Structure 1
Amino acid sequence: MGKRILILFIIFLLPFIGIAQVVPAPAPPPPPPGLPVDGFMVALFLIAIIYGSVKIFKDSSS
């Protein structure tokens, strides 16, 4: 009796196990358009701000 129950359990459970799969995660959204802001871009921006400030102070002092 125990073997029959086990066999029936396996027969009825096997299709559900075969169908059950992990759904893959959706694709992430694309990055925004434009250039990425990284450390190099920030350094260039700071250099430009400093250069412009020094140039303005030099011109205004003469």
Structure 2
Amino acid sequence: MQNKYIFASILISFVGLAAMAQESGRFPSPPTPSNGPGPPGLPIDGGIVILFVIALIFGVYKTYGLVAKKTS
């Protein structure tokens, strides 16, 4: 019974994917970008390295805490 539900979910997903992949003539193509003002001077990835290091340290801290709690 569960296999039927899994098969139906996959089938519906593929049908939806195929419907979205087809190009329709009803919708116009997106407009071409104009040569307006440039992007602002602030970089998006300014602190991404610091954020990654903090997340890595936090992950090691939490993992160490779980292992220490499990062994004691």
Q: Same fold (TM over 0.5)?
A: no
Normalized against structure 1, the TM-score is what?
Answer: 0.44
Structure showing greater radius of gyration is 1
Normalized against structure 2, the TM-score is what?
Answer: 0.38
